[in-house]
Amino acid sequence: MAFLSKFRRYVILLQLAAVALLPPSQNGLVVHAASHIRGGATASNGHNILDDSHAGIDASEEERRLQTAENRMLYCGAPGRCSENTLVAPADQPNAVRCCTTDKSLGWPDKCISSRTPIVYGESNVPGCYNDKTFSEAVVICTAAGARLCNGDELVDRCTRGTGCGFNKVLSWGCSADSLSCQVDAECCNGNCVGGTCTAVGGPVTGSPAKSPTASPVTDSPTKSPVASPVTGSPTTTPTGNPSKQPSTSPINPTNVPVGSPSKAPSTKPVSSASPSTSPSDQPSKVPTSIPSSAPTSKALVIAGNNGSPVEAFPLAECQGDCDNDGDCQGELLCYQRTGTEQVPGCTGLGVSAKDYCASRSDTSLLFLRGDNGSPGANFPLGLCEGDCDSNSDCQGTLICKQRTEVEEVLGCNGEGASGEDYCRYPVLELVGNNGWSGSDFPLRDCEGDCDNDSECAGSLRCFARDGTEAVPGCDGAGNSATDYCAVKSATDLWIVGDEGLPAGAFPLGVCEGDCDSNFDCEGTLICEQRGGVELVPGCSGLGTSAKDYCRYPSLTYAGNNNSPVENFPLSVCEGDCDNDGDCESLLQCFQRTAFEPVPGCLGAGTFGRDYCASRPTANTLFLKGDNRLPSANFPLKLCEGDCDSNADCVGTLACFQRTGDEVIPGCDGAGTSGEDYCYPISPQPTTSPTLEAGKPTPSPNDFGATYVPGDLSVPCDNGMLTLSKGMNCAKLTSVGQPVQLSNGSFSSQTWHSRADGAGVIPHPTDGGWYYVSNSETSSSDGGGAGSLCFDANGGVIGYEQTLTGTTDNCGGGKTYWNTWVTCEEDGSLGHCHEVDPFTGYTKKVNVVAQGGNYESFAYDNTDPDVEARFFTTEDSSNGALTRYTPHPNAFGTGNPYDILSSANGVYNYLVLNTADGTFSWSPNIADGEISASALFPNSEGIDVHNRILNFVSKVKKELFTLDLDAGTWTKTSTVSGAFNLQPDQLARIMGDSEVLYFCEDGGSACDIHGRDSTGQYFTIVRGDGYSTETTGLAFSPDNQFMYMAFQGNSNVYSFWREDGLPFNGVVAYTKYHAT
């Protein structure tokens, strides 16, 4: 029956859609073509039938008289706040949509203020806010939500007020009175469309669609038109003693939740009280008798038991604790989850801190705490108005997480909620600040405004610029005119980011970005699509802003052949027909085709078999260079080139990867052309870095066995993508979006995360193996968090899983001395640090920083003579202070190391460098730390503490700062030396004879790994010849036999080892330094 109910709803929607496409004279819904009249406009065809003192039920006869197929009723969402409380208007006039239902399972609030209205649940966001729909369109919207249009009593009694769309001051469509023509039940006030006419069937005419229990189910009625079958507004057709409420001992039909609705499915656990009678009564009551006539008296919080003991105390009553989940509570009570002494709705007192209590949530729009940090797992993702969320991924469906610092209003929800806690809400446009006022709200989150640029938006959100009320992608409602809002930008969304070259940071513009004036405003080979209105932009989605111009990929164009006409050669991007790379402009390559294969970076199909010039982003990008060994100059094919037919078509040790579709090709980027075959590296495989079978490298049989010469860049690796120091070898372990190949030949079930960044190695506590924990510097919607590669004791890869999710822009981090990983978010005011234990799966936000920021790297010092341990965190901001965190002494005595960073009452201090005498101090005032950072070490990133010496780098200043923590002095040295002239990022120390401090390099065209020894000399360990992206994730295995690093752009991860079998901290033959 559940399937049939959902199927019938889709049938109704299809029929309505088909009807709506007919001309107005034929569709049977509306035929009036009068001019549009807004809410309270005065016109000959708009009749105000009620004044402020005469509303609702007394006018029902007048409403029936005035309504026709051409004219329908409009009602004010909050009487007295519109220019007219009630109006009859043409059915084709655009107005607001609000829906009502008696079906509690939809999760809508009950906000009616009058006892004359039965138990009715109303909603404006269904989901989505609509203030410009005709009557027939409004019917379709409410039908899709599993509800109906509201009647006059319900709208006048404010049953839909405050439900998230701001429609209290506008007129909304009301349902049709008895005897009017109809198509579906949702159109009728009584909920019954019989034979094309709204007809009362044993129920009240006041708008409750509940059927009389004595009536036969409507689906069996032979007199009812098929399209008039009722939408499943009631959970079941089985009559009950209380038709307005589903018996709580029966599961609620999941098909009653509309598709895409983020409303949480109600609990199906039985009510501990007596089961409701299933015998039908003669007449259903409008108001359930179980509802008391007066408001109940609040109860004091009390602890009655814990973990199900004593048995006689469970299930717990209202305001009793300690509950762990909803199953610990009686009836429909829910377990209100707390981390402190948050106020429990309907209860008095503070109770015991961090204890959870059973509470009533009869109003589903009431702000309600259901958990924190993803626990309890059964409550996540959270539903509407539920908290505490940390990001949008904690919320159901399209809901977004409203971030708060105190008790800011949450649109669509009631109550203040717990101060500082965050709640899930609908993605309705919301104005929360402008030009930095209401500064605590900046950076802005999803669907919040007014932003002026991307920097005012959190994480990877972008600022969507508007001239009027253009639709903001992923957000509902019109918002404030000419106000700009932060939103998630997909690759094809038309998006205004600047105009006339301003702001400078937005130019050149990317694909589908505007407003451009010429091709010079566009990035790379993109071109500017000029528009006079809202013409479609090829390759982009949406209409964008009228008369604004956007950058797009160029279309395939035939410009000549065989070097004729000569003035067209060499060919530009997306031009053909080329025969070889020499026919194309510099940096372009000739993309060879046999039919209509898509050309990278170009739009359109072009001419059958013609070849076109295109840009190839990297040597790893899949690219067609020929077929059947033609043109011969391109064969044998190089890395990631096609189409090959056998290994003989590939150069050197490359092999031909045969495909039937879009199979992922190891070592290559992109999808390529479906069904075409490409050359790829079969050796070394990811597990050829010593595996179970191979064992660790064996030292050479001489006095030291040292053949490793750091700085002597003479060993090519990964088909020339890297050049290594003499005596090294490497293997690529994985790439973004690819499963990780394991040492037994199988693959991981999860794919490797994007934008790999800071990483650390955590020893396995029992088997001698280890974990490589790698951050993902991307938004939570794209994954974020951190993932862990698991290695056996011989360095073979045996597993991979995403360890932390739901965080944003995880950049750097560091290890703790109890062997966990601390990952830090570079997310503005929302950025924090989280502890991750890849062995146990433990994750938690920790207290190492006092406020949100763009945090980078983390280090510890557990040799301080004054305290048990201190912890240090850098911030990648122009005034980002270096934070020193000292936990409360009690945090070290619990026996649980997880408490060290998560316990309260720790002390924060901030680094202040004294330039006069070379000393430093730690100030309790963050402003002092910010001033010092701004002047001397802006945008600090990598940090390391060893033997009471603290090293950190300022990537902007390109300087390494060294602090002697015992002497209280500091020095700095330049990191610019030889090829190492970019921005230093992460640090890793190799302890032992060589005492080498290793650096990653942030950005540019020569991103490498460098070292600095104890004499202050710099040298290059690995050079990334085939990359132009940030090197990240530098880390070493516990025995220093393996070095790991990643290239962020395509998230390629490499393992390195010494051919002489010695660890990286062992003896070196000699060191080749950079020239200074």
**Alpha-carbon 998 to chain mean position:** 34
Residue 243 φ/ψ region, left for φ over 0, alpha for ψ in the -120 to 50 degree band, beta for the rest = alpha
Q: Which amino acid is at 850?
A: A
Instruction: Please tell me what DSSP assigns to residue 282.
Output: S
* Helical (H) or strand (E) element with 947: none
pLDDT of residue 47: 39
Weakest-pLDDT range from 157-171, 704-718, 767-781, 1042-1056:
157-171
E-strand ranges in 900-968 read 907-914, 919-923, 940-946, 949-954, 959-964
Q: Using alpha carbons, select from 944, 886, 884, 931 the residue that is nearest to residue 910.
A: 884
Which stretch, 46-60, 152-166, 348-362, has highest mean pLDDT?
Answer: 348-362
Question: 197: which strand partners?
Answer: 181, 194
Judge whether residue 563 has pLDDT over 60. yes
Strand 641-642 to 623-624 pairing: parallel
Judge whether residue 297 has pLDDT over 70. no
Q: Residues 6 or more apart from 779 whose CB is under 8 A from it?
A: 459, 460, 461, 488, 808, 809
Q: How many whole angstroms separate alpha carbon 959 and alpha carbon 933? A: 13
Q: How many whole angstroms separate alpha carbon 65 and alpha carbon 179? A: 10
Judge whether residue 519 has pLDDT over 60. yes
pLDDT of residue 1014: 62
Q: How many whole angstroms separate alpha carbon 482 and alpha carbon 484? A: 7
pLDDT of residue 683: 46
Instruction: Please tell me what DSSP assigns to residue 353.
Output: T
pLDDT, tens digit, for every residue of 596-627?
A: 888 988 998 888 889 999 988 788 889 999 99
More confident residue, 172 or 459: 172
Q: How many whole angstroms separate alpha carbon 546 and alpha carbon 1048? A: 37
Query: CB 123: neighbour CB atoms within 10 A?
Result: 31
Mean pLDDT of the chain: 76
In the numeric block, the tokens 């009036």 are attached to: 32
pLDDT of residue 11: 39
Q: How many whole angstroms separate alpha carbon 500 and alpha carbon 515? A: 7
Is residue 651 within 8 Å of 636, Cβ to Cβ? yes
**Mean pLDDT within 124-146:** 82
pLDDT of residue 576: 94
* Helical (H) or strand (E) element with 579: none
pLDDT of residue 2: 35
What the block records as the tokens of 256 is: 């009653």
Judge whether residue 771 has pLDDT over 90. yes
Judge whether residue 49 has pLDDT over 50. no
More confident residue, 849 or 194: 849
Q: How many whole angstroms separate alpha carbon 1009 and alpha carbon 1021? A: 5
Question: 773: which strand partners?
Answer: 760, 788
What's the CA angle centered on 487, arms 485 and 489, to 5 degrees? 130
Cα–Cα distances in angstroms (integers) from residue 17 to residues 13, 156, 354, 938, in the given order: 6, 30, 52, 59
In the numeric block, the tokens 């204890």 are attached to: 355
Q: Using alpha carbons, select from 407, 416, 409, 421 the residue that is nearest to residue 370.
A: 421
**Burial (Cβ within 10 Å: 0-12, 13-18, ≥19) of residue 895:** exposed
Q: Using alpha carbons, select from 958, 965, 914, 929 the residue that is nearest to residue 944.
A: 965
pLDDT of residue 181: 77
When pLDDT is cut at 50, 70 and 90, the band that residue 45 belongs to is very low
Written as one string, the DSSP assignment of 777-823 is: -S-GGG--SEEEEEE-TTS-EEEEEEEE-S---EEEEEE-TTS-EEE
pLDDT, tens digit, for every residue of 1038-1065?
A: 888 899 989 887 889 999 998 888 887 7
- What does the H/E/C string look like for 852-901? CCEEEEEEEECCCCCCCCEEEEEECCCCCCCEEEECCHHHHCCCCCCHHH
More confident residue, 152 or 318: 318
**Mean pLDDT within 192-198:** 82
**Mean pLDDT within 251-270:** 33
Is residue 576 within 8 Å of 589, Cβ to Cβ? no
pLDDT of residue 120: 81
* Helical (H) or strand (E) element with 1068: none
pLDDT of residue 104: 78
Q: How many whole angstroms separate alpha carbon 531 and alpha carbon 549? A: 6
Weakest-pLDDT range from 48-57, 113-122, 779-788:
48-57
Is residue 384 within 8 Å of 262, Cβ to Cβ? yes
Instruction: Please tell me what DSSP assigns to residue 326.
Output: G
More confident residue, 838 or 503: 838
Q: Residues 6 or more apart from 220 whose CB is under 8 A from it?
A: none
What's the CA angle centered on 844, arms 838 and 850, to 5 degrees? 130
pLDDT of residue 699: 36
**Mean pLDDT within 948-967:** 87
Q: How many whole angstroms separate alpha carbon 864 and alpha carbon 425? A: 46
Burial of 492-529, coded b for 16+ CB within 10 Å and e otherwise, reads: ebbbbbbbeeeeeebbebbbbbbbbeeeebbeebbbbb
Cα–Cα distances in angstroms (integers) from residue 319 to residues 303, 339, 343, 351, 488, in the given order: 9, 16, 11, 9, 40
What the block records as the tokens of 945 is: 């503490």
pLDDT, tens digit, for every residue of 584-599?
A: 998 899 999 988 888 9
In the three-class reduction of DSSP (H, G, I as helix; E, B as strand; rest coil), residue 736 is classed as coil
Judge whether residue 207 has pLDDT over 50. no
Q: At what angle do helices 135-144 and 2-21 cross, to 10 degrees?
A: 160
E-strand ranges in 322-422 read 334-336, 347-348, 357-359, 368-369, 386-387, 400-402
Is residue 550 within 8 Å of 513, Cβ to Cβ? yes
More confident residue, 1003 or 352: 352
**Mean pLDDT within 217-232:** 34
In the three-class reduction of DSSP (H, G, I as helix; E, B as strand; rest coil), residue 631 is classed as coil
pLDDT of residue 8: 37
In the three-class reduction of DSSP (H, G, I as helix; E, B as strand; rest coil), residue 195 is classed as coil
Alpha helices in 179-234 (DSSP H): none
Written as one string, the DSSP assignment of 536-563 is: --TT-BS--STT--EEEPPBPEE--BTT
When pLDDT is cut at 50, 70 and 90, the band that residue 637 belongs to is very high
Judge whether residue 370 has pLDDT over 50. yes
- What backbone torsions phi and psi does residue 56 show, to the nearest 5 degrees? 85, -130
* Helical (H) or strand (E) element with 1018: strand 1018-1023
Q: Residues 6 or more apart from 446 whose CB is under 8 A from it?
A: 392, 400, 427, 461, 474, 475, 486, 487, 488
In the numeric block, the tokens 């890395």 are attached to: 639
**Mean pLDDT within 636-648:** 92
pLDDT of residue 195: 79
Percent of the chain with pLDDT over 90: 28
pLDDT of residue 888: 93
In the numeric block, the tokens 């006419």 are attached to: 197
pLDDT of residue 806: 87
When pLDDT is cut at 50, 70 and 90, the band that residue 466 belongs to is confident
Q: Using alpha carbons, select from 1037, 1030, 1028 the residue that is nearest to residue 1058.
A: 1037
Q: How many whole angstroms separate alpha carbon 86 and alpha carbon 40? A: 8
pLDDT of residue 116: 57
Strand 557-558 to 575-576 pairing: parallel
Judge whether residue 31 has pLDDT over 50. no
